[in-house]
Amino acid sequence: MDRRQVIRHFLVVGAGLAFMPSCVYKEGKVSIQLKSIQINPDQESFLKNLADAIIPPTDTPGAAELGSHLFALKMVDDCFEKQEQSTFMAGLKKLQGKEPDPAALMSAAEQEKDEDALAFMKAYRRLVIQGYTQSEYVMTNLLPYQLVPGKYYGCVPVDNTTSKS
């Protein structure tokens, strides 16, 4: 065995060891990496259950199965202002321990006049519906998606009797 081959083996083993931690999934981690907001696994589980309550699975997949809750989190992280993010997180923290029933949470927030919880529910519901309707599954399997110009029919005669010169 020569020196170059030993160095090559050390580099391959070192690279494998460097990438090893990214391959291990721990149960206590969040499944999406966010820059501005921080959530814990319990909050992610609550949001997943709430998304499933907003659009439940029937013969088609539900919102949680299509990842609409992750879409909503990413949109809050990337597109909301700092004030909106803090309101969203405050509403999430207030509602986290409760049963994920959208109608009950919304009516409770309206009765208590809790602006943070109300803003959270409105924003999260809107984002979950947007993520669901724009998902690949819905756009390809449920909606008749066609490209903008539509199909070209070359064998259709053009009727010139309606235009006047």
Query: How much is the pTM?
Result: 0.70
The predicted pLDDT at position 73 comes to 92
Reported for 139-146, long-range contacts at CB under 8 A and 24+ positions apart, including other chains, are: 141/60, 142/60
pLDDT-based confidence at residue 76 (cuts at 50, 70, 90): very high
Q: Average pLDDT of 114-120? A: 87
Which residue in 26, 56, 53 sits closest to 41, CA to CA?
Answer: 26
Radius of gyration (Cα) for the chain, nearest Å? 25
pLDDT-based confidence at residue 159 (cuts at 50, 70, 90): confident
Burial class for 3, CB neighbours closer than 10 Å (0-12, 13-18, 19+) = exposed
